Amino acid sequence: MLAKQLSIFLENKKGRFTEVAKILGEAGINMTAFTVSENSDFGILRLIVSDTEKAIAVLREQLYGVSVTDVVCLRCPNQPGSLGKAMDILTKNGIFVEYMYAFSQGDTANVIIRPDNLEKCVTVLTENKLELLAASDLYKL
Amino acid sequence: MMWNEMIESMSREEMRKLQSARLKHIVEHAYHNTPFYRKKMQEMDVTPADIQSIDDIVKLPFTVKQDLRDNYPFGLMATPMSEIVRLHASSGTTGKPIVVGYTRKDLSMWSEVVARCLTAYGASKNDIVQISYGYGLFTGGLGAHAGVEAIGGTVIPISSGNTEKQIQLMHDFGANILCCTPSYALYLAETIHASDIPLEEFKLRIGVFGAEPWTDNMRKELEEKLNIKAYDIYGLTEICGPGVGGECACQNGTHLWEDHFFPEIVDPATLQPVAPGEPGELVFTTLTKEGMPMLRYRTRDLTSLNYEKCACGRTAVRMNRILGRSDDMLIIRGVNVFPSQVESVLLEMPEFEPHYFIVVDRVNNTDTFQVQVELRPAYYSDEMNKVLALKKKIAARMQSVIGLQPDIKIVEPRSIERSMGKAKHVQDNRKLV
């Protein structure tokens, strides 16, 4: 139920993200989702890709600082109130979300969650009959 | 083991007698053969007759790097050019290079002092020595080379650069000893660890590192990463090149070969000798060099001297670690900052690579002090807060060591230049009128 997310350290310089996108593109790796967290001198690009191992290899070869983190992917209906319901469950069970990001496709929405307690997050969401996307399915999107 | 036990373990009293006799001789030689020294001494109303013992050295004028530039190329030679058998030069970052000339006797003295250093590190004729200092005008390569030949070791004269080949030959030839700058040694170590050759297949046991100041933390890192004992070799082109001094197995100070190079420590501001053991600027007088004698040459290296007999049996004076240079010392917002302090903080923090780059500027009449550093691979994170916490941690540590908090900039892996020779660590953009 857990998916691998890449985090890439990028200096705030022109063209850094372009370069990452090119490197992945040339290696035939597709990006499923990404988000950037930034401050005045650097950013952290968080990415879900079609081939995690290969992406790590090509990025490290180009000397990028890359780390890998397990995340949870929640799938819910793309309609008002559905995310609120899921978040409410997490909060009531004492799960803290470090960060999250989402993308929608027609009727469904996919939410990538990095909780402080992965195992508990998965258990709680499953017990409450919420749908979690398998890593293999996520990578194909 | 000592190469020249009689000299290296001579009593202090005997050493002073030898130094006194040699000083008298070299001052006469310089006075009569180099117009530059004669003029300077005459201006101070000093003649060779005023120099009767080593204590009289304080009567002599100082010499500085600019004097070598002003007398470019051969103005400071004290013998006819027909007696000079070798020239070396150091690339000045500004203006003309400085040039030094050696007679045949000077070269044999030079190989003798390097042989003393090598023997003190535990090297012998059984060793295979890879010399990765640059060969050519730079004194490092040929200086170390002659010393290894003097003790009968096997020289691999590979010179600097071409890191892959360095590692291949070090491995295939079974080099026991590596001579290079400490920053290049770190780079070699990193490259070896990144290669697919296991460290156990190398036979290195001793590192001979010099040509730039380094710290005990750096020693520790080099010893661990290369599985060697790492020793300092000290020298400067103006005095003769590497071999002015070297450490012994005790690793507790660099023995200076003071029968050839007489050291003094002076206050860089007043030029007066400091109290024994106190830090200040190191000044050398060459006591035997014929080709280009140096009288009271100001090295700009800041250090202190220890005259106690060493546990190794040597009586030769020991120089403590170089604290910095009196001329690359940065004064930032009134605080004296030595790049070596920045380095020492990096070396004690496993989260950061040992490489750094300092940028100093002046914005709205206030100095800015930026230190660029790289995280080690294991410390990259998906969480902004973790990276920011590391930034805060190192800034606080630097504040406590330097007395000034730098603006830490974490840069991408390998974006700080790894040098082949002397690392360039500072960029000062201030325009101070």
pLDDT at B91: 60
Q: Are B134 and B22 in a shared domain?
A: yes
Q: How far apart are the first and last CA of chain B?
A: 54
Task: Please state which CATH class domain A2-69 belongs to.
Answer: alpha beta
Residues in B touching A7 (Cβ below 8 Å): 380-382
Please check whether residue B411 touches A, CB under 8 A. yes
**B307 and B369 belong to one structural domain:** no
The CATH number given to whatever domain includes residue B424 is: 3.30.300.30
Q: Are residue B312 and residue B372 in the same domain, yes or no?
A: no
Note the pLDDT tens digit of each residue in B402-422.
Answer: 888 999 999 999 889 886 666
Domain co-membership, B410 together with B298: no
Q: Mean pLDDT over residues A12-34, rounded? A: 94
Q: Is the pLDDT of residue B251 over 60?
A: yes
| Domain termination site, one of B270, B297, B324 | B324
Q: Are residues B316 and B290 in the same domain?
A: yes
Co-location of B319 and B360 in the same domain:
no
SS3 B312: coil
Q: How far is A132 from chain B (nearest CA, A)?
A: 22
Asked if residue B411 and residue B302 are part of one domain, the reply reads no
Is B353 domain-assigned? yes
Residues B205 and B304 in one domain: yes
> In the predicted model, what is the mean pLDDT of residues B91-100?
67
Residues A105, A109, A111, CA angle at the centre, nearest 5°?
130
Least confident of B232-236, B352-356, B402-406: B402-406
Looking at the fold, whether B359 and B294 belong to one and the same domain comes out as no
**Architecture label for domain A70-140:** 2-Layer Sandwich (3.30)
What pLDDT score was predicted for residue B430? 80
Mean pLDDT across B185-193: 91
Q: How many C-beta atoms lie closer than 10 Å to residue B275's C-beta?
A: 8
In a domain, B250, yes or no: yes
Within a domain: residue B433? Answer: no
Lowest mean pLDDT, pick from B50-54, B160-164, B244-248 = B160-164
Mean pLDDT computed over every residue of chain B: 92
**Same domain membership, residue B159 and residue B33:** yes
Nearest by Cα to A129 from A86, A81, A98: A86
Looking at residue B420, its pLDDT comes to 62
Subunit contact B380:A66, Cβ cutoff 8 A: yes
Each residue's pLDDT tens digit, B258-313? 999 999 999 988 999 999 999 999 999 999 999 999 999 999 888 999 999 999 99
What is the average per-residue pLDDT within B157-174?
Answer: 95
Q: What per-residue confidence (pLDDT) applies to B93?
A: 41
Phi, psi dihedral angles at B118 (to 5 degrees): -60, -40
Mean pLDDT of B109-121: 98
**Confidence class for position B433, pLDDT limits 50, 70, 90:** very low
CATH number, domain with residue B255: 3.40.50.12780
Residue A114 with chain B: CB contacts under 8 Å:
382
Write down which residue in B290, B324, B358 finishes a domain. Answer: B324
Residues within 8 A of A (CB atoms), B 361-390 only = 375, 377, 380-384, 387-388
Please give the pLDDT value at position B92: 46
Domain ranges for chain A? 2-69, 70-140
Domain's final residue, options B292, B324, B356: B324
Which tokens is B153 given?
């070791």
Q: Does residue B65 lie within any of the structural domains?
A: yes
- In terms of DSSP bridges, do strands B98-103 and B84-90 run parallel, antiparallel, or are they unpaired? antiparallel
Neighbouring CB atoms inside 10 A of B99's CB total 21
Structure tokens at B65: 């790097």
Total count of domains within chain B:
2
Own/partner contacts of B260-264, CB < 8 Å, gap of 24 or more, are B260/B109, B260/B113, B260/B286, B260/B287, B260/B288, B260/B289, B261/B285, B261/B286, B261/B287, B262/B19, B262/B23, B262/B54, B262/B57, B262/B286, B262/B287, B263/B305, B263/B317, B263/B319, B264/B57, B264/B296
Are domains A2-69 and A70-140 of this chain identical in fold?
A: yes
Same domain flag for B48 and B116? yes
Question: B370 is in which domain, residue-wise?
Answer: 330-428
B380 to A11: CB separation less than 8 angstroms, yes or no = no
Q: Looking at the structure, tell me whether residues B137 and B282 fall in a common domain.
A: yes
Among B379, B381, B412, the strongest candidate for a mutation testing the A interface, having the largest count of A CBs within 10 A, is B412
Q: Half-sphere exposure of residue B217, counting CA atoms within 13 Å on the CB side?
A: 13
For residue B365, pLDDT beyond 80: no
Contact B387 A98 (CB under 8 A): no
Rounded to two decimals, the ipTM of the complex is 0.86
